Amino acid sequence: MQFPPIELGEFDHYTLIVENAREVADFHINVLGFRPANIQLVNAGSAPPGEYDMLNHILWLPGSDEKVMVVTEGLTENSIFYRYWWTYGPGVHHVAYTVDNIDETLEKLREHGVETTSEEILQDPISGLKQIFLAREHCGYFVELIERNDKISAGEFVEDNMSALANTMQGYLDEGDLIEDGNPSILIHESKENVLKVLIDPFRLPEWTCHKIIAMKGERLVESRMHGDLDLKIETESDAVNFTWSIGEEKRSFKITIVESEEGVIVSVDLSKVQVNERAKLHKIISIELAILAALVEGEIERIPESDIQIINEWHLEIHQKKGL
Ligand SMILES: [Fe+2]
């Protein structure tokens, strides 16, 4: 049966989740001409009583006294907003639309097969504000339905609802669901010694990775990129090699484990600390790099298809031009 589209009310607000709310708010105020409306500290559940785990910068949209953008930052590592940012990266978290009767609208949405992040509509007992999130799977972000009343005007939010809404996102942060590919790994039919010979030699990295311009500058081992040199450190443990790239305070490490098996050596790269939004891409690149490494060690480099070499070269150009890590 075909149901007609529902009728939403006006757009109400949208929310970004970012690493640093003040910086993002300042950009919108100083460059894009948004006006500050409010700054709110909230305890959405992960902080001890009297402390906060969520910071909101609420800004009026240009030309409006009613519509706001909320810039949210999780203040503790356990905060759902911090974990959300860490998992999905910065960006739009949800867009909210007013509705006159949230129960009726939801009923119609259910007829369309729409899922929500909570069974129940969340209602603040004092103001009567009602909110619910439609599941992210429908369109890649959450759509919020919000029913305001004369006690809770545009641009205002209540703490209890915010923490209740936050907790409905828990299911999106269970890592088990998000790690689709696990860690890239490969079996190399050679001795551990022969694998390590190639793996830990920085000057052979250009042969099997997208890190192409490796050099010694004085005492420093560096990878040269368009915007400057990155320091590179290669540290060997008994069953692992750690590659660490750093620039100033910023650091990025990859741990490569080497496990001996009957047929040779299994080499795998730990991606568990990589943000989910980067993981799929890195998984693909690193899988190719490991395949090239295996082919090099086994002396059969010609088995690597030209198209894979091209992917690595394109990725090299991308990171070569990137600022930072
Ligand atoms: Fe919202």
The 10s digit of each residue's pLDDT in 68-95 is: 999 999 998 888 999 889 888 899 999 9
Q: Is the pLDDT of residue 110 over 70?
A: yes
Q: How many domains does the chain have?
A: 2
The CA distances from residue 163 to 55, 117, 243, in Å, are 12, 13, 39
Q: Is the pLDDT of residue 178 over 60?
A: no
Residue 325 lies in a domain: no
**Which of 132, 151, 178 corresponds to the end of one domain?**
178
Q: What distance in Å separates the CA atoms of residue 292 and residue 131, rounded to the nearest whole number?
A: 52
If asked whether residues 40 and 156 sit together in one domain, one would say yes
Res 89: pLDDT: 86
Q: In angstroms, what is the span from residue 3 Cα to ligand 1's centroid?
A: 27
Q: In angstroms, what is the span from residue 199 Cα to ligand 1's centroid?
A: 49
Q: In angstroms, what is the span from residue 5 Cα to ligand 1's centroid?
A: 22
To the nearest whole percent, how much of the chain has pLDDT over 70? Answer: 97
Q: In angstroms, what is the span from residue 19 Cα to ligand 1's centroid?
A: 18
Q: In angstroms, what is the span from residue 90 Cα to ligand 1's centroid?
A: 16
Q: In angstroms, what is the span from residue 49 Cα to ligand 1's centroid?
A: 23
> Rounded to two decimals, what is the model's pTM?
0.63
Q: In angstroms, what is the span from residue 122 Cα to ligand 1's centroid?
A: 12
DSSP 149: B
Q: Is the pLDDT of residue 168 over 70?
A: yes
Which of the pair, 302 or 89, is modelled with greater confidence?
A: 302
Write out the residue range of the structural domain in which residue 59 sits: 11-178
**Which of 124, 150, 178 corresponds to the end of one domain?**
178
What is the rounded average pLDDT of the residues 83-112? 93
Res 164: pLDDT: 87
How confident is residue 138, by pLDDT bands cut at 50, 70 and 90? Answer: very high
If asked whether residues 71 and 165 sit together in one domain, one would say yes
Q: Is the pLDDT of residue 153 over 90?
A: no
Give the pLDDT confidence of 199-235 residue by residue, as tens digits: 999 999 999 999 999 999 999 999 999 999 999 999 9
If asked whether residues 210 and 306 sit together in one domain, one would say yes
How confident is residue 1, by pLDDT bands cut at 50, 70 and 90? Answer: low
Residue 122 lies in a domain: yes
What is the rounded average pLDDT of the residues 93-106? 96
Residues in Cβ contact with 218 at an 8 Å cutoff, skipping those fewer than 6 apart: none
Q: Is the pLDDT of residue 147 over 70?
A: yes
Res 176: pLDDT: 40
Q: Is the pLDDT of residue 179 over 50?
A: no
**What CATH number should be reported for the domain holding residue 313?**
3.30.530.20
Q: In angstroms, what is the span from residue 14 Cα to ligand 1's centroid?
A: 6
The CA distances from residue 17 to 61, 81, 109, 129, 230, in Å, are 17, 7, 26, 22, 29
Q: In angstroms, what is the span from residue 63 Cα to ligand 1's centroid?
A: 20
Strand 68-74 to 91-98 pairing: unpaired
Res 181: pLDDT: 52
Q: Is the pLDDT of residue 180 over 60?
A: no
Q: In angstroms, what is the span from residue 232 Cα to ligand 1's centroid?
A: 43
Residue 2 lies in a domain: no
Res 296: pLDDT: 96
If asked whether residues 167 and 30 sit together in one domain, one would say yes
If asked whether residues 76 and 114 sit together in one domain, one would say yes
If asked whether residues 148 and 20 sit together in one domain, one would say yes
**What CATH number should be reported for the domain holding residue 145?**
3.10.180.10
Residue 168 lies in a domain: yes
**Which of 178, 207, 240 corresponds to the end of one domain?**
178
Q: What distance in Å separates the CA atoms of residue 281 and residue 301, rounded to the nearest whole number?
A: 23
Contacts 24+ apart (CB under 8 A), 52-58: 53/78, 53/79, 53/81, 53/82, 54/79, 54/81, 54/162, 54/166, 55/21, 55/22, 56/21, 56/157, 57/21, 57/22, 57/24, 57/25, 58/155, 58/157
Give the pLDDT confidence of 279-294 residue by residue, as tens digits: 778 888 999 999 999 9
Residue 43 lies in a domain: yes
Res 174: pLDDT: 61
CB 71 within 8 A of CB 56: yes
How confident is residue 115, by pLDDT bands cut at 50, 70 and 90? Answer: very high
